[in-house]
Amino acid sequence: MNKIGPYALICAISLPTAAIAADDWKTTCKMVESTATTIMKARQNGAALSNLMEIADDSKFIEQVAIMAYDQPQYSTPENQKNAVSKFANELYLACIKETRK
């Protein structure tokens, strides 16, 4: 079973509700995807989780995405790293769409 599934749902739910207007889901979910991409790239490049948590500056959303990223394996080959980043970002984007396009 994929470990990201339930965490992605938690992450999407943790988005500030006020920031998600009915017609603004695309912008919100694109932000989720971008954040996921940035954090997973850092994870794949060996960044310390403690540094990301410090940079998060008490943003529960960014902290949750970082935790989710570090629950995933770190790969050594560029192709596997790229695939991990893409998969992670797509799964969070999908979770966001499912939660915000109601």
Mean pLDDT value across residues 90-94: 96
**In this predicted model, what pLDDT tens digit does every residue of 41-61 receive, in sequence order?**
999 999 999 999 999 888 899
Q: Where are the domains of the chain?
A: 4-100
Q: Residues 66, 20, 36, CA angle at the centre, nearest 5°? A: 20
pTM over 0.85: no
SS3 3: coil
Residue 84 predicted with pLDDT over 60: yes
Do the Cβ atoms of 6 and 62 come closer than 8 Å?
A: no
The lowest-confidence range among 6-10, 25-29, 87-91 is: 6-10
Residue 65 predicted with pLDDT over 60: yes
Give the pLDDT confidence score for residue 58 in this predicted structure. 87
